[in-house]
Amino acid sequence: MPASRWFSMVLLVLAVAASGSTSRAGEHAKAVFAGGCFWSMELAFEKVEGVVSATSGFSGGSLPNPTYEEVSAGRTGHAESVEVVYDPVKVSYQTLLDHYWKNVDPFTANAQFCDHGPQYRTVIFYGTEEEKRQAEASKRSIEQSKRFNKPIVTQIERAAQFYLAGDEHQDFAARNPGQYKRYKVLCGRSDRLEELWGKS
């Protein structure tokens, strides 16, 4: 085979491979998780290297454009959630899942720590079948570890519309560190997470 033709074929193969890549530099992906108080989940995910942003909002309900007051009343079906924008070159979806589990109590239905109601339930909202597979595998891995004697009640659901919470809820912990710290301590969040997963 002439060298020029061989070189052309190599370039073609490389081009095809590049076009099928799902983790090109500069491209961002999104993931949505519900884990109780969205102030806490937002803060937790913003600490992960490769996460570009974490935004507080609502997902999983039926009422369009719900307000915080409507969701808090537990009548819309939404869960307080965070939309995580991340760079898949720097952090994998699997790593986000691992971080998610370590920041929730997956054994308590319709509640997280001192917050009670379906709006505080734990949900992994998957956007693709691959995300669903990874989420289910990560849940199964915890169950099969036999570390806990309770069933995991965290739901794995197809991603629904994500609605932003008001500006007063965005970066709440960073903007109101004293108020957030009091909430976190009084709610028993840190103690329960350490009981479940050990010291972070």
Which residues are known to be catalytic?
37
Give the 3-state DSSP-derived string for 161-184, with helices as H, strands as E and coil as C: CCEECCHHHCCHHHHCHHHHHHHH
Output the six-digit token pair for 199.
Answer: 């010291």
Residues 169, 56 contacting (CB under 8 angstroms): yes
The pairing of strands 79-86 and 29-35 is: antiparallel
Output the six-digit token pair for 91.
Answer: 């952090």
**Which of 43, 77, 46 has its CA nearest to residue 160?**
77
Q: Which DSSP state fits 126? A: E
Output the six-digit token pair for 200.
Answer: 């972070």
Rounded CA separation 55/81 (Å) = 8
